[in-house]
Structure 1
Amino acid sequence: MTIDIPTLLLALLSGYLMLGLQLLVARRGALRQPELGLWTWGSWGFVLGFGFFGARVLIPTWVSVLLGNAFIFGGILLYVIALQRFVRRPWPSGPYWLVWLAAVSFTGLMLEIPLSVRTAWLSLVYAGLLLPGVYLVLRHGWGGEASLRAVGLTLAVAALALILRGWHAFTHPDQYTDLLRSSLGQGLTFLCAFLSLMGAGFGFVLASFERAATEMKRLASHDGLTACVNRSSTDDLLAHLLERGRREGSPVSFAMLDLDHFKQINDRYGHQSGDAALRAFAADVRGRLRASDVLGRMGGEEFGLILPATDEPGAMRLLEQIRQAVAALKVRCHDGREFGMTVSAGLVVVASDSGLSADRVYALADKALYQAKHAGRNRVERHLIMPMPAAAD
């Protein structure tokens, strides 16, 4: 049994051509990630590489070998760089070693060495190029998009197939006297390696769509400037956590926070500095919260803070820490000037048996915030809720 190599090359060329066209369509639509552009160029590198391999009946063999492998090498390299950018991890020591690897590999192509030795060496080189991509996905991208895991696994299969191809070429040199010679070992390893790479490409498109959908979902529930949850999400979470507090018998604290004299910051230092102040404030507050706490931007310079299972002493202690930290915070303008700010807060602590709705809690916290503003700002006021009377016997 043998696999016809020219037919296999034509099938792979057609498959990568379809992948390249699909990537072009995706890039013109909702997916405009730069890493997807790198994968697109890598796929067209494979199209050109297989095209030059198949064109050796029309062009000199050394041109076919040199250009075909050069485009395949470049395609794999672009795939790995795309993965590195997708998982947002820097290279440990920079990819400069790849330049030397390419120089050594393509210098070897020009030497008079047996095709079996050249095939074994280049197969191992290609496998070595893929291994950093496999590591990036399995080590840093496994907890992300589900489709990205499939990319990592198919790249691992491709690397293993290339290693087996290198071993097979070294141990069965008689089957590698010509690239277009049909043989079972050469055909199977070639097919498995580059078909897996093609599958990784389709998986990468799915991972890109998955990330785009996640980002759109995040933008629908979060404020783009401060990365806090938005007003509607804060309202929904407050209602949910109040209900959970009733079931579990635990208090829920809710505070309204408002930056003092924020209009003066915008007027004196500009709206960009005002945006910087909002981001700095939100980042400072988030750094003091538990994973279960929620900071939402209610609008303008007003924020809502939900503290599940938190009594009045605990909530007051946290709000005082926030107030003091904000008063000590310095924000730098684009022109080098620095300015400070203060925050006022109104707190409501809701007992599990209070029966208050989310709207009522919001109104009481807003009232306490007004009291803090009226009392001179840069302070925390709390609204006391009287306990419900016990039922008569």
Structure 2
Amino acid sequence: MLALGVGNIAFALLMAGYMRGAENSPALGYWMWGRLAIGLAQLCWWIAPQFEMRLVEGLSACVWLGGVALEVGANCLFFGFTRWRRSLYLLTLPGWVTVGYAVATGASRLQLTELISFIIALSVFGAAVVLLRPREAPLLQRIIGVNNILFALAIWAWLGFEGGSPGPGLTSMIALAYLASYLLMIVNGFGFLLLCKQKDDELMRRLATIDGLTGMLNRRAFFERAEGARMLALRLRKPIALLMLDIDHFKQLNDSFGHACGDEALRVFAGVARGVLREHDVIGRLGGEEFALALPGTTLDGALDAAERLRLAVTALPVIGDAPGYRMTVSIGVVVIGGGEELTAALARADHALYAAKTSGRNRVEAGAPMLKRA
């Protein structure tokens, strides 16, 4: 019990150190305070009989259960559950009442240990169900869930043997219960830290590749993804089309109605574009109101049809709420990337086609000039 208490406190300190250099995570904060509460409760539980402090045993038992509840809350926060606080309070309160009643009626230390172990095993088993329920759960999450189940089974097996006479079987069950407790502390402690790190890494990856306003690829990520699509099309000897498009009169929209209205127009356009395009099409925001699209497996005629569908979908949009009288339209330039043509060269041709569409009256689609053949 002393080793478990010291270990859990060490985990709490480790998490506190990690949180100082990581993105603020409420789930990790709940987990840290839960671990600290469990560790302190275990230390007090170990110290109490040395000084015959019966009241300390009861208080440490309640703190122990509270720490477990905080860990369950951390899981709920991490996985995005809503309205979990009230349910957690309703589930924790009976445990506190039961422990208080046991202390008041003179339950022995062994009986208190069994009661706390049973309640904790129930909580841990419930957390395992949550962790293992999603079919697409990552391996690390499944390892933690399986470890929780093994802990609960080991505790219940020990409780089943506890009422029997002393012997090798009971000794083995006690050893198994403590081993399961160590594994719960180590696997769940490091596992939750790694889960939080994975989530932080995914957030950083998203911030590095996704435009925060529209949810599309940013300029760098678009060039990387489009270049990959170009190389694949070249290997498969499939066509790939490239579109450059621009929201018409966007500067006037910003100047007349403010940047907030312009931002709303960009978000609305992004939603329309995602609804019109195919899942494997690549779309990115190059900057301002300028966007680029790569359409793998698409000929020039197919790309012109896709561009026209997008143009019509944008034209059919209702008036932006804060910009009365403004109707959004787009101008689009379309080319097919030639065999061996660099992405930047194809973008330049698409940009010239876009310029032709804008100088010809806007709200139109123009095909770009074919790639110049090398002498």
TM-score normalised per structure 1:
0.83
Deviation for aligned residue 1:269: 2.5
Does structure 1 residue 125 correspond to structure 2 residue 119? yes
Shift of 1:30: 2.2
Map of 2:280 onto structure 1: 292
1:242 shift after superposition: 2.1
Aligned to 1:228: 216
Which whole-Å deviations, capped at 9, do the CAs of 1:68-105 have from their partners, x for residues lacking one? 222222222222221222222446xx454443443333
CA distance in 2, matches of 1:73, 1:126: 7
**Partner residue of 1:22?**
14
For the 8 Å contact 1:119–1:166, the answer to whether it is kept is no
Which residue number corresponds to residue 3 of structure 1? none
Most deviating of 135-144 and 272-281:
135-144
CA distance in 2, matches of 1:296, 1:336: 25
2:292 aligned to which of 304, 307, 311: 304
Deviation at 1:329, TM superposition (A): 2.6
Q: 1:238 to 1:118 in 2, by over 3 A?
A: same
For residue 56 of structure 1, report the CA deviation from its aligned partner.
1.4
Query: How big is each residue's C-alpha offset from its partner over 1:187-228, in whole Å with a ceiling of 9 and x where there is no partner?
Result: 531441354134201111122222222322232222222222
Report the residue type matching 2:332 in the other structure: A
Q: How does 1:359-370 map to 2 (within 5 A)?
A: 359-370=344-355
- Structure 2 equivalent of residue 102 of structure 1: 92
For residues 261 and 368 of structure 2, the distance between their equivalents in structure 1, rounded to whole angstroms, comes to: 33
- Would the aligned equivalents of 1:108 and 1:118 in 2 still touch at CA under 8 Å? no
Residues 324 and 305 (structure 1), Cα distance of their counterparts in 2 relative to 1, 3 Å cut: same
CA distance in 1, matches of 2:46, 2:270: 59
1:380 equivalent in structure 2: 365
Report what 1:208 is aligned to.
Answer: 196
Find the aligned partners of 2:285 and 2:136 in 1 and give their Cα distance.
32
CA distance in 1, matches of 2:78, 2:171: 38
How far apart are 1:342 and its partner, in Å? 1.6
Residue ranges of structure 1 left out of the alignment (5+ in a row): 1-8, 176-181
Q: Deviations over 1:263-294 (max 9, x none)?
A: 12222222222222212211221233333211
Deviation at 1:299, TM superposition (A): 0.8
Match of 1:4 in 2: none
How far 1:35 moved relative to its partner? 1.0
**Residues 10-19 or 135-144, more deviating:** 135-144
1:80 to 72, 84, 93: 72
RMSD over aligned Cα, in angstroms? 3.0
Higher relative contact order, structure no. (Cα contacts within 8 Å, ≥ 6 residues apart): 1
Identify which of 144, 149, 161 aligns with 1:168: 161
Q: Which residue of 2 aligns with 1:156?
A: 149
2:173 corresponds, among 185, 189, 196, to 185
Pick aligned residue for 2:328 from 335, 338, 341: 341
* Letter of the 2:240 counterpart: V
Residue 126 of structure 1 deviates from its aligned partner by: 1.7
Q: Work out the CA distance in 1 between the residues paired with 2:52 and 2:327.
A: 72
- Greater displacement, 280-289 / 355-364: 280-289
* In structure 2, C-alpha distance between the alignment counterparts of 1:88 and 1:141, rounded to whole Å: 16
CA shift, 1:296, in A, is 0.8
Number of residue-to-residue matches in the alignment: 369
The worse-fitting range, judged by mean Cα deviation, of 337-346 and 126-135 is 337-346
Note closer, same or farther for the CA distance 1:88–1:100 as it changes in structure 2 (3 Å cut).
closer
CA distance in 2, matches of 1:46, 1:332: 54
- Structure 2 contact 241–296 (Cα < 8 Å) conserved: yes
Distance in 1 between residues matched to 2:251 and 2:165, nearest whole Å: 78
Offset, 1:364: 0.7
Mapped partners of 1:16, 1:379: distance in 2: 65
Structure 2 unaligned runs (5+)? none
> How high is the sequence identity, in percent, across the aligned residues?
33
- For the Cα contact (< 8 Å) 1:231–1:297, is it kept in 2? yes
The Cα of 1:308 is off from its aligned counterpart by 0.3
Match of 2:205 in 1: 217
In 1: Cα distance, 2:284 partner to 2:85 partner: 42
Of the candidates 243, 253, 259, which is equivalent to residue 271 of structure 1?
Answer: 259
- Measured against aligned partners, the alpha-carbon deviations of 1:343-389 in whole angstroms (never above 9, x if no partner) come to 111111235xx332111110011011111111111221112527979
Match of 2:242 in 1: 254
The structure-2 alpha-carbon separation of the partners of 1:256 and 1:15, relative to structure 1 and needing over 3 Å to count, comes to same
| 1:231–1:104 distance in 2 versus 1, CA, 3 Å | closer
* TM-aligned CA distance change 1:337 to 1:383, over 3 Å: closer
